[in-house]
Amino acid sequence: MTGFFDSDPIRPVMTKKVPAYGAAAAKAPLLPMTIDRRGVGAHDIEVEILDCGICHSDMHKVNNDWGNTHFPIVPGHEIIGRVVARGDQASRFREGDLVGVGCIADSCRGCSECRAGREMFCEKGVTFSFDSLEQGGKTWTYGGYSTTYVIDEQYALNIPTGLDPAKAAPLLCGGITTYSPLRQFGCQPGTRLAVVGLGGLGHLAVKLGVSMGADVTVLSTSMGKEEDAARLGANHFIPTKEVGALDPHQGEFDLILDTVSGPHDVDKLTSLLHSFGTLVLVGLPPVATPLDVTGLVHGNKRVAGSNIGGIRETQEMLDYCGQKGIVAEVEVIAPAQINDAYRRMQRGDVHYRFVVDMSTLAQ
């Protein structure tokens, strides 16, 4: 162990060198590297990472699609592992417990957003679990494509017993990002819900929407995903690449959840809304999306955005998935296959979340 003592009395105390997979520059391949993890502070737990999901946001960040990436970057924010150490004031978990680390690693805890459980909007600046400044603004966080993670126990999630760790990992971002808007916008029995894009987020949205009693339709550019959509519980499938495919479905949906990662025509989606219906955007394409306002006015239609969910709501979602037995459909890969997984995700060839088995990186 190498390290230093910092003037901050709580943390970091000492850093530890750990193996990771990361990118040195925009669009560079992810390669093995060594990173410094902060030492275990009084309120921290150290997590030995078992599995980490690959979210499309990881790839947007590596590609610097949003123009705000700090390199080198170690992505990964769908982390599941076991507690291996804890600070002397950390009492929520015990060594051996299965815990999750999602998108949020820390925040100020005192502002109105933090107190309301919306840490992602922390007025002092949230600390995301990767590519984000730690509270205090000195060092950058490295994500879960690694062997260990150190986090304040208040920001760690309890994983319900019975959920397979690799299949539960994608709930930490994909699950909360779809659960939160379905709850916010009143998904309930009878809701005519359309899920656009059957990828990591989309397939979880289908499962969650079905569990809430919605009549679920999948809109997909991939004809080959029709059988899977039915297996996931969707009632209908619309192949969006076919000319005129959307025409018979004008005004048909109460709620549309758009999980698409690339450029696409949002106006075509608002035309599918019933009056007073809502299109919720969660996908974050790298380019700006034009919007026809007239189409919204005629029909009192709404367009909304939704950004992950706070720690409290993430725990609520995990407990809900534990009760309902909802997990992701995953393809478990070794760290050396991450670049291939990124290439496949780029072309929509994802069935339906890649999860990296991080235990092999330690060997």
Q: Which does 260 bind (CB under 5 to 8 A by kind): Zn ion, ligand NAP, none?
A: ligand NAP
Among 30, 47, 50, 55, contact with Zn ion (rule: CB under 5 A): 55
Between 49 and 345, CB nearer to ligand NAP: 345
Among 31, 42, 85, 111, contact with Zn ion (rule: CB under 5 A): 111
Q: For residue 204, state whether it binds Zn ion (rule: CB under 5 A).
A: no
**Which residues does residue 273 pair with via DSSP β-bridges, in sequence order?**
253
CB of 301 to ligand NAP, least distance (A): 20
- The whole-angstrom separation of Cα 313 and Cα 340 is 33
- The whole-angstrom separation of Cα 74 and Cα 59 is 11
Among 159, 317, 350, 358, contact with ligand NAP (rule: CB under 6 A): 350
Q: What is the dihedral of CA 197, 202, 207, 209, to 10 degrees?
A: -80
Helix axes 174-184, 200-211, angle to 10 degrees: 40
> According to CB under 6 A, which residues from 303 to 332 bind ligand NAP?
306-308
- DSSP letters spanning 138-176: SSB---SSBSEEEEEGGG-EEPPTTS-HHHHGGGGTHHH
Helices (H), 212-355: 226-232, 266-270, 293-297, 311-324, 338-346
Q: For residue 107, state whether it binds Zn ion (rule: CB under 5 A).
A: yes
Between 44 and 119, CB nearer to ligand NAP: 119
Q: How many residues bind ligand NAP (CB under 6 A)?
A: 31
Say if CB 167 and CB 53 are below 8 A apart.
no
What the block records as the tokens of 59 is 């790839």
CB of 236 to Zn ion, least distance (A): 27
- The whole-angstrom separation of Cα 247 and Cα 96 is 54
Among 184, 221, 289, 339, contact with ligand NAP (rule: CB under 6 A): 221
Q: For residue 173, state whether it binds Zn ion (rule: CB under 5 A).
A: yes
Q: Which does 122 bind (CB under 5 to 8 A by kind): Zn ion, ligand NAP, none?
A: Zn ion
Between 45 and 157, CB nearer to ligand NAP: 157
What the block records as the tokens of 272 is 């599918």
Burial grade of 172 (CB within 10 A; 0-12, 13-18, 19 or more): buried
Q: For residue 355, state whether it binds Zn ion (rule: CB under 5 A).
A: no
Q: For residue 66, state whether it binds ligand NAP (rule: CB under 6 A).
A: no
Q: What does the binding site for ligand NAP look like in residue numbers (CB under 6 A)?
A: 55-57, 60, 173, 177, 197-202, 220-222, 225, 259-264, 282-284, 306-308, 345, 348, 350
